[in-house]
Amino acid sequence: MSAAIGQPERKFEAHEPALTAKDLVLLRISAGTATRADLQRDVAPLLAPRITGAEFRRSAELGISNLIGSQLVSESKSRLTCTSKGLQVAEAILASPKASCATWADVKFALLVRTLRTSDTPAIRKAVQRVEGLAALVLQHHFGKSTARAQSPADLRGDLAIIALERAFGNKIKTGFKKGAGLPAKPGRVLAGQLFKQPREIATDGKLIVHLACEIAGSREQSLEGLELAVLRGLMSPRDDADAPSAQSARPQRAEASPRPIRPPTPKPANDRAPISEIAPLAPRSPSPPDMPEFCRAVIDAARPVSEGWPGNRKAFISLVWKAIRNTRPDWGLSEIAFKGMLAEAHRSGQVELATADLKDGRDLKSLEDSKILYKNTVWHFVRVQD
């Protein structure tokens, strides 16, 4: 029978526009206030494993800069706060008249409601607090059934058994199973178990619902937290990844999206009998160090997202600026020593302003040590950012 059932859809889809990293950053900041550490802890898992932690930090910094520039977010003493305009945009993203941004838990519940196409009712709120209730809503949404309420494991098991029969014998099977004339529990679980990628029998209705929902959503853990995270990730993932193999990494996908240009084939001499390669090897690109104005602009652009302080006195650790330059401009081929040398020269010529740290602070000794530049009996630690 399993062969007749065929391959059901294995990818859980939210059927909603995918949210970007900037959208998630705004939603997290709207739940009170947030630091960059809060964003890393709460938002990064929703985008994993599609993007790594380092990629998320870069995306988050870019998103924060755009949100501040659009006057949706303000920053004070390293804490990010939504403006009234930002709160309106966040509520529009949640797309629910009852959605609340009071806490991060409220935001995640609103995203679950949006993902599962259900309603914000007391019954739904109670259901999503239990793994069986959330699993039932996931399966009802996945198989195209109403999500106005969460079905009981027994009722849903009967529906899943009929779905399995329909896939095996066609829709005519519905005429033999009217409402209230379902299959016995054990045969029903055997039939519903055919919907797994590897058909198997589960001992109880509750475990059947949870295990099948976790497989469809892509959760490796049969827990409420694991299933909730997998469902929310379904809303974040791009729609065109639905049929991609799970083993395919993000790097080959980016390479396919932006193929490298291929040089035209080298002409073959008329008297050359030996075969030659149809594609000439690409010459290795040599590093191209920047000129001083380009270098200074890149330093200020890299320092602005990671700077701290108050308006008029914002500073960024030189070590953080170096990491940003190293990651974003590998084509320059700069070493850390060369970078710091150019930074000292830029300061000497007045194109970049450096600042020294109060060593009595001691808030981040490692960053201070990594950032120091010795220049004319002075130790510089920061790049000053002009607001």
20/93 same-domain check: yes
d(CA 195, CA 167): 9
Q: 313-317 and 382-385 as β-strands: parallel, antiparallel, unpaired? A: antiparallel
pLDDT at residue 235 in the model: 75
Q: Which residue has the higher pLDDT, 247 or 130?
A: 130
Say if 255 falls within a structural domain. Answer: no
Mean pLDDT confidence for 177-198:
76
Structural domains counted in the chain: 3
CATH of the domain at 62: 1.10.10.10
The string of pLDDT tens digits covering residues 136-151 is 999 999 999 999 999 9
pLDDT at 177: 53
Same domain, 339 and 378: yes
Query: Which residues constitute the domain of residue 29?
Result: 9-113
CA–CA distance, 58 with 36 (Å, rounded to integer): 11
On whether both 129 and 66 belong to a single domain, the answer is no
Which of residues 51, 80, 113 is at a domain's end? 113
Q: Are strands 73-76 and 354-355 parallel, antiparallel or unpaired?
A: unpaired
Whether residue 216 is found in the same domain as residue 304: no
Share of the chain above pLDDT 90, in %: 32
Residue 170 lies in a domain: yes
Q: What is the pLDDT of residues 249-274, one digit of tens each?
A: 334 444 444 455 565 555 555 554 54
Domain-embedded: residue 286: no
pLDDT of residue 288: 79
DSSP 199: -
SS3 309: strand
Is the pLDDT score of 80 beyond 70? yes
pLDDT average, residue stretch 193-218 = 92
Higher pLDDT, 265 or 353: 353
The mean per-residue pLDDT over the stretch 373-380 comes to 80
What's residue 374's pLDDT? 80
Checking if the pLDDT of 204 tops 90, the result is: yes
Q: What is the CATH number of the domain that holds 327?
A: 1.10.10
Q: Which of 13-27, 94-108, 202-216 has the highest mean pLDDT?
A: 202-216
Average pLDDT (22-42) is 91
Q: What is the pLDDT of residue 340?
A: 86
Give the pLDDT score at 171.
59
Q: Going by DSSP bridges, is the β-strand pair 308-310/313-317 parallel, antiparallel, or unpaired?
A: antiparallel
Q: With bands split at pLDDT 50, 70 and 90, how would you rate the model's confidence at 6?
A: very low
Instruction: Give the pLDDT band (50/70/90) at residue 51.
Output: confident
Q: Kindly state whether residues 21 and 102 are assigned to the same domain.
A: yes
What pLDDT digit, counting tens, does each position of 293-304 carry? 899 999 999 988
Identify whether 290 is preceded by a cis peptide bond (ω within 30 of 0): no
In this structure, are 213 and 189 located in the same domain?
A: yes
- The answer to whether the beta carbons of residues 6 and 164 sit under 8 Å apart is no
- Of the given ranges (168-177, 183-192, 272-281), which has the lowest mean pLDDT? 272-281
> Do 359 and 376 belong together in one domain?
yes
- Does residue 379 register a pLDDT over 90? no
What is the three-class DSSP state of 22?
A: helix
- Is 274 within the bounds of a domain? no
Q: Residue written as tokens 């999500």?
A: 147
Residue 270 inside a domain? The answer is no
Residues 161 and 125 in one domain: yes
User: So what's the pLDDT on residue 331?
Assistant: 86
Give the pLDDT mean for 152-168.
87
Q: Give 3-state DSSP helix, strand, coil % of the chain, rounded to 5.
A: 55, 10, 40
Residues 123 and 62 in one domain: no
173 in the same domain as 102: no
**Band (9; pLDDT cuts 50, 70, 90):** very low
Identify the pLDDT of residue 175: 47
Closest CA relative to residue 223, chosen from 337, 320, 129: 129
Domain stop point among 176, 209, 242: 242
Residue appearing with tokens 């399995």: 164
The answer on pLDDT for 184 being more than 50 is: yes
